[in-house]
Amino acid sequence: MSQTEFAVNFFVALFALIDPVGNVPLFAAATAGVKARDRAWISLYISLFVFVFLTFFYFTGLSLLQFFGISLPAFRIAGGVILFLLGLEMARDDFSASGAGAADGVVGQGRAFVRKRFEMMIVPFAMPLLIGPGAISSVVIYASQAKQFGMQGAAVGVGAIAAVSVATLASFLATPILTRILGRIGLTIVVRVLGLILCALAVQFILAGFAASTTGFIRPGVAHPY
């Protein structure tokens, strides 16, 4: 595998796992009622978080989880529980309305509001929704493959992560266009449907975690159907 093939494969895999385009409706719901400039800053903060966090795991691998005695299946199950709670809230309540309500009275505070909203969105939006166990494990796997290229491989890997972060920023900056197209009612419908999908995805995470940590408890076709 050449460095070019490595970079392309790494970018495609990471982009598919993070899926910034597919998460635009969720970002739009979480930032409903937020001024365009504040939304742009939140997009930048989240993209920087994606870059820093994935780069950190790119160089540390599983050593951090091993330090705390946490297995990847356990991390997957915990992420599934958090995603299920988020999906349940989205499917039962008007997530976009609650996001808009949370912004009332503080939008005018500018940078302070942006930091506060970003802190609220780190979990579960940035992690594990964007950066889940799949993205982390993929970063670790590609980091091991990059060793054959030496320092150049490390630089190429960081470049691929940076490219995915830029793509995430571009996708979230396009949120106002999507908001105008869908409108409040359309956005609410999309969020409720995505909430149901998130619940199913969370259950799939949990099943995969149990399948990886047990023997014969979960059928392989159920844990990994596709």
Q: Reply yes or no on whether the pLDDT at 173 is more than 90.
A: yes
Whole-angstrom distance, CA of residue 13 vs CA of residue 53: 17
Q: Reply yes or no on whether the pLDDT at 203 is more than 50.
A: yes
In which band, very low, low, confident or very high, does the pLDDT at 223 lie, cut at 50, 70 and 90?
Answer: confident
pLDDT given for residue 187 in this prediction: 66
Whole-angstrom distance, CA of residue 171 vs CA of residue 191: 17
In which band, very low, low, confident or very high, does the pLDDT at 150 lie, cut at 50, 70 and 90?
Answer: confident
Q: How many domains does the chain have?
A: 1
Range in 51-55, 68-72, 186-190 the model is least confident about: 186-190
Pair 174, 49: CB distance under 8 Å: no
In which band, very low, low, confident or very high, does the pLDDT at 93 lie, cut at 50, 70 and 90?
Answer: low
What is the average pLDDT value for the chain, to the nearest integer? 80
Average pLDDT over residues 185-196: 75
pLDDT given for residue 162 in this prediction: 96
Question: Per-residue DSSP letters for 65-93?
Answer: HHHTT--HHHHHHHHHHHHHHHHHHHHHS
pLDDT given for residue 226 in this prediction: 59
pTM: 0.70
Q: Reply yes or no on whether the pLDDT at 108 is more than 70.
A: no
The domain containing residue 114 runs over which residues?
3-223
